[in-house]
Amino acid sequence: MSAQQPTTSEAYQAVQSSEEFQTLRKKFRGFVFPVTAFFLVWYFLYVLLSIFAQDFMNRFLFGKITIGLVFGFLQFLTTFAITFIYARWANRELDPLADAIGSRLDGVKEH
């Protein structure tokens, strides 16, 4: 690998404007931006409810388990679920695209 020439900035700019790269970028942002918005809204909803809607959060659902506790557990659940789904999705959808572009870049330099 050390024998390779450094990739030229023209090559990077060409890749950046290529359709494949735009697709990769769009896919990545199309997933992470909405999911980030979702978990931030969901988390702050929990925070706000637990300080401004205590009557609701402190209601017992069954035994000594309150709605607020269930809400808290749901935060764990969504965090775990997002982690699981994102990792599977990225392994399947992002990595092949990224690897293809990366190896093409190495090819570009050699011609």
Using CB under 8 A, list all residues that contact another protein. Answer: 1-2, 4, 7, 9, 12-13, 15-16, 21, 24-25, 28-29, 32, 35-36, 39-40, 43-44, 46-48, 50-52, 54, 57-58, 62-66, 68-69, 72, 75-76, 79-80, 82-84, 86-87, 90-91, 95, 98-99, 101-102, 105-106
Q: Which two tokens stand for residue 35?
A: 């999911």
CB of 105 to another protein, least distance (A): 5
